[in-house]
Structure 1
Amino acid sequence: MNVYYRPIVQTDAVRPSNAITVAGGWGWFIQAERINRNSASELVDIADIPQATIEAISAPRAPMAGLHFNAPRLMGILNVTPDSFSDGGHFHSPEAALSHARQMETSGADMIDIGGESTRPGAEAVPIDLEISRTKPVIAAIRSGSELPISIDTRKTEVAEAALAEGANLVNDVSALTFDRTLANLAARDTVPVCLMHAQGDPKTMQAAPKYDNVLLDVFDFLSERVDAAVAAGIPRNQIMIDPGIGFGKTVDHNLTLLRGISLFHSLGCVILLGASRKRFIGTVGNAPSAEDRAPGSIAVALAAVLQGVQVIRVHDIKETRQALSLLNAVQNIEQGQK
């Protein structure tokens, strides 16, 4: 793609008659930033945006994993690992994991994302059997008493298949279906929605001097290619989320650039997920060396993304983020929407 259009999303209740709603949600736009790799970007009006791009940006996003996206949704993080960067070991036992899942549901989570392999910088790969033994019983326990949508955070077909058999509803793959090429076939066969994330390198090496020609456009192009590949494998486009992969092979400046320009990804026509909670760049910018002290910064980033129309926010601190989001919704008059 040579020319890109980033909608300048607004949420004010007073909107021009020619304003176009973003993704059937709470934001609208009348202008976009036109970006070209070879020249300076410029602000353009709706009349200068290709109709196909307008349609991709504006089309209401289809329900996925039992959720509607006409209002912001919260995905609660449940790492059943001993070594995740923020909460490693806290919820390693099935009993602790189930208790935390129940707490997140009560606090306002719309979905729980369960992972049995740490993807923190420097993390080693986990054997398939171990990853299944960590995730499968927790999913089964949650599902036995709740209809809350569950996402399995994995790169591996066998892990995903075991999770789906226990009632998981979505596959969240940090490799965007590149680590295990058969995972796309599983999702297509079982008509399971997927989330495709960008990462430069694997967890063990991804923070070793990451470089881009243009991080916003490079990540966009990668996700565009991966969405096309998923569709070619038989996964409907309207059942694909995309995630720019904050912190996965990115410097602080890379992360901030992606956050400033995240509305660009609406032109892929997919639900956008942001996973920035407690990431290292928040500690760097916000002077919070300990991951557990980064909730305020994480909430600030989440609200900034919601104001750009991002539909799903993946967070550790559900109660605090739900409170902040409720206030933002009230002040901005954002409808809560159908779940």
Structure 2
Amino acid sequence: MNFHWRIHGLDHDLTQRGLVMGIVNVTPDSFSDGGRYLDTGRAVEHALTLVAEGADILDIGGESTRPGADPVEEAEELKRVLPVIRALRSETKTLISIDTMKANVARAALEAGADIINDVTGLRGDPMMLRVAAETEAGLVVMHMIGTPRTMQKQPEYGDVVAEVQAYFAERLRILAELGIAPERVVLDPGFGFGKTLEHNIALMKALPTLAVQGRPVLVGISRKSMISKLLETDDVDDREWPTVALTSHTRELGARIVRVHEVKPNVEAMRMTEAILGQ
């Protein structure tokens, strides 16, 4: 199967070479690096380091989506992310995604030079987000999540988590198509850790090859997630780095085409080695 992602009218071929998305949290409260890159200068410097290490995409976020996180006012989110996006657009041609649930933030970010909307609500949280998507040619990341970041981990329940995520993706693609949004613009994110127990996450991991609904590429965001600590029985976030690299290799072998990670260099190396072994 061939995989392409259309961003601003340009098709990116992901069939043989997957993409690594580097995380740049411009927040005071993200679960693993909150506050470290809240300053614009430090955020830009960090992002350019990720580019030098091989990042294909820079994912800029100004609102934490960790479990239990409080919402951020739109004005504050704009204040955090726009200077970073503008500065990066003047420094690099690397793809930039805006990690936001707010339509106005997404539109402003695209106007500042971003290329992709990465919305953890699957373009459902803000009723105007679908309009922004339809009126632009941005790439789109449609993620699965139940509830909100504040509530998503309060006893999430599914009859069949795999079947429900598959059905959700099919429904979102149908709605987007009805609005004239080409499916080629969409990649799908099963939302590991977003309204899922450890058992749900493992079930989705095992079923990853089946989640490429309608042939759309799958993005995996599992970097430093708590499921790693639960499996390894450790509370140290630093202990999650090499397991993340292992999961990058494993999920690429299972068919994921994009991984969203904090540490870029080792994950790029893991993806390229896996692709070489796969003969892709």
TM-score normalized by the length of structure 1:
0.79
Q: In the comparison of the two structures, how many residue pairs are matched?
A: 277
Amino acid at match of 1:218: E
Establish whether residue 308 from structure 1 lines up as the match of residue 257 from structure 2.
Answer: no
Secondary structure (helix, strand or coil) at the match of 2:250 reads helix
**1:213-292 matches, cutoff 5 A:** 213-292=159-238
Equivalents in 2 of 1:321, 1:155: separation in Å?
27
Equivalents in 2 of 1:189, 1:233: separation in Å?
10
Equivalents in 1 of 2:174, 2:235: separation in Å?
39
User: Comparing 308-317 with 291-300, which one deviates more in the overlay?
Assistant: 291-300
Identical amino acids, percent of aligned pairs: 37
Secondary structure (helix, strand or coil) at the match of 1:271 reads coil
Contact 1:193 1:235 in 2 (8 A): no
Equivalents in 1 of 2:14, 2:277: separation in Å?
19
| 1:62-94 Cα shifts (integer Å, max 9, x gaps) | 443653212111000111000001111111100
Bigger-Rg structure (1/2): 1
Identify the match of residue 138 of structure 1 among 66, 78, 84: 84
Distance 1:184 1:251, change over 3 A: same
Contact 1:185 1:234 in 2 (8 A): no
Identify the match of residue 158 of structure 1 among 85, 104, 107: 104
Equivalents in 2 of 1:224, 1:126: separation in Å?
30
More helix by share: 2
Contact 1:199 1:245 in 2 (8 A): yes
Structure 2 unaligned runs (5+)?
none
Establish whether residue 68 from structure 1 lines up as the match of residue 4 from structure 2.
Answer: no
Secondary structure (helix, strand or coil) at the match of 2:218 reads strand
Establish whether residue 318 from structure 1 lines up as the match of residue 264 from structure 2.
Answer: yes
Equivalents in 2 of 1:285, 1:306: separation in Å?
20
**1:1-339 matches, cutoff 5 A:** 22=1, 24=2, 60-64=3-7, 67-70=12-15, 71-334=17-280
Contact 1:77 1:112 in 2 (8 A): yes
| 1:180-234 Cα shifts (integer Å, max 9, x gaps) | 1211111111122211100011010111111100011111111211121122222
Equivalents in 2 of 1:103, 1:287: separation in Å?
31
RMSD: 1.3
Equivalents in 2 of 1:237, 1:126: separation in Å?
30
Equivalents in 1 of 2:240, 2:5: separation in Å?
33
Equivalents in 1 of 2:125, 2:136: separation in Å?
19
Contact 1:152 1:171 in 2 (8 A): yes
Contact 2:20 2:57 in 1 (8 A): yes
